[in-house]
């Protein structure tokens, strides 16, 4: 049985001039599930992420984020900063976007600036005088330390983020996103540029986040060992439309998926291999 939907995408269409980058797309991503969005180049994956995170406003369709208190927030009506803060959707990027000159720890504290500023009641007096701010600061440091530990970065806490090896920077991006306490974590090609060992570590980290935090993860990924190895559901796009949806095993054997990737029905293992 599928878990309750966390994100429901309903009839989503996003056009650029005459081009439909996403076309009448519907699917759901469950709470406590890893949902992978795959498809050939130009299929509309990044456009979908940009609609979910408020960077684009779709012309048609609904994006509903179901909160544990029963509220269904309509993301397509919200600005990006409201989606991050109120709907609690966090995102990492294909091209890593850390503060490279800040330390690893500072990156994780800055991610929590909204909570800290709220605790200061947005005033200097609040910053200087209130126990409430000091408690919030303590909690922010504890949360940062927790995610440093979970991502294996504790030893690098004081190191400049930009000087970390690539695989560590990817994990730091995930730690930073988790410091915002998201309900939905959107990961844009988290395995890009990782070697097989780092990719294995990433799988382990993402499965741990799913199982322990019970949040939803939505990932765009081209590395099929990651997609087939850790996803609970796979959504396949081609030319902006949904062509398949199901478990990794169901999707891997789907003729439409094989055609979209290979242009012919032979040799699915070449592109859609992996564990699963
Ligand atoms: N801002 C934009 N303006 C015009 N066209 C765009 C814009 N963003 C995306 N597109 C077009 O929309 C289509 C889908 O692009 P998108 O980047 O969403 O695909 P993708 O599946 O993420 O591809 P890739 O795997 O190569 O990253 C492409 O034809 C792309 O050129």
Q: Is the CB of 43 under 6 A from ligand 1?
A: yes
* pLDDT for residue 275: 43
Q: Is the CB of 95 under 6 A from ligand 1?
A: no
Q: For residue 56, give the ligand 1 atom closest to its CA.
A: 1
* Residues contacting 16, CB < 8 A, separation 6+: none
At 274, is the pLDDT very low, low, confident or very high (cuts 50, 70, 90)? very low
Q: What is the mean pLDDT of residues 159-178?
A: 92
Q: For residue 48, give the ligand 1 atom closest to its CA.
A: 18
Count the residues in the chain. Answer: 276
| Boundaries of every domain in the chain | 1-88+183-276, 108-181
Question: Average model confidence (pLDDT) for the chain?
Answer: 87
* pLDDT for residue 270: 47
Say which range, 5-9, 163-167, 257-261, has the weakest mean pLDDT: 257-261
* Pairwise CA distance, residues 195 & 229, whole Å: 16
Cα–ligand 1 centroid distance for 47 (angstroms)? 6
Look up residue 144 and give its two tokens. 């940062």
Cα–ligand 1 centroid distance for 186 (angstroms)? 17
- Let me know if 43 is exposed, middle or buried by CB neighbors in 10 A (0-12, 13-18, 19+): buried
Assign 3 to helix, strand or coil. Answer: coil
Does residue 15 have a pLDDT over 70?
Answer: yes
Domain 1-88+183-276 part of CATH 3.40.50.300:
yes
Indicate the top mutation candidate among 18, 38, 45 to test ligand 1's pocket, ranked by most ligand atoms within 8 A of CB: 45
Cα–ligand 1 centroid distance for 222 (angstroms)? 15
* pLDDT for residue 146: 95
* Pairwise CA distance, residues 180 & 88, whole Å: 8
* Pairwise CA distance, residues 214 & 200, whole Å: 21
Nearest alpha carbon, ligand 1 atom 25:
41
Cα–ligand 1 centroid distance for 191 (angstroms)? 20
Indicate the top mutation candidate among 13, 25, 42, 186 to test ligand 1's pocket, ranked by most ligand atoms within 8 A of CB: 42
* pLDDT for residue 263: 66
Does residue 121 have a pLDDT over 70?
Answer: no
Cα–ligand 1 centroid distance for 39 (angstroms)? 12
Q: Is the CB of 20 under 6 A from ligand 1?
A: no
E strands, the chain, where? 5-16, 19-30, 34-38, 60-66, 72-74, 89-92, 184-188, 216-220, 233-238, 241-246
Confirm if 9 and 27 have CB atoms less than 8 A apart.
yes
* pLDDT for residue 147: 95
ipTM exceeds 0.90, yes or no: yes
């Amino acid at each position: 049985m599928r878990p309750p939907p966390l994100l429901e995408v309903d009839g989503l269409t996003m056009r650029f001039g005459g081009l439909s980058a996403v076309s009448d797309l519907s699917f759901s991503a469950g709470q406590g599930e890893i949902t992978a969005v795959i498809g050939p180049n130009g299929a509309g994956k990044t456009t979908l992420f940009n609609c979910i995170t408020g960077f684009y406003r779709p012309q048609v369709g609904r994006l509903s984020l179901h909160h544990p208190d029963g509220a269904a927030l309509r993301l397509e009506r919200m600005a990006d900063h409201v989606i991050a803060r109120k709907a609690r959707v966090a995102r990492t990027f294909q091209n890593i976007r850390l503060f490279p000159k800040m330390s690893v720890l500072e990156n994780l504290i800055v991610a929590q600036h909204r909570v800290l500023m709220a605790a200061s009641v947005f005033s200097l007096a609040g910053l200087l005088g209130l126990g409430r701010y000091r408690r919030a600061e303590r909690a922010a440091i504890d949360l940062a330390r927790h995610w440093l530990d979970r991502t294996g970065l504790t030893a690098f806490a004081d190191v400049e983020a930009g000087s970390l090896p690539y695989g560590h920077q990817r994990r730091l991006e995930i730690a930073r996103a988790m410091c915002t306490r998201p309900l939905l974590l959107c990961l844009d090609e988290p395995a890009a540029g990782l070697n097989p060992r780092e990719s294995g570590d990433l799988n382990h980290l993402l499965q741990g986040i799913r199982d322990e935090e019970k949040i939803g993860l939505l990932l765009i990924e081209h590395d099929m060992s990651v997609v087939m190895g850790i996803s609970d559901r796979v959504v396949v796009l081609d030319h902006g439309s949904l062509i398949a949806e199901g478990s990794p095993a169901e999707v891997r054997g789907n003729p439409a998926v094989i055609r979209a990737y290979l242009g012919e029905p032979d040799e699915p293992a070449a592109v859609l291999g992996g564990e699963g």
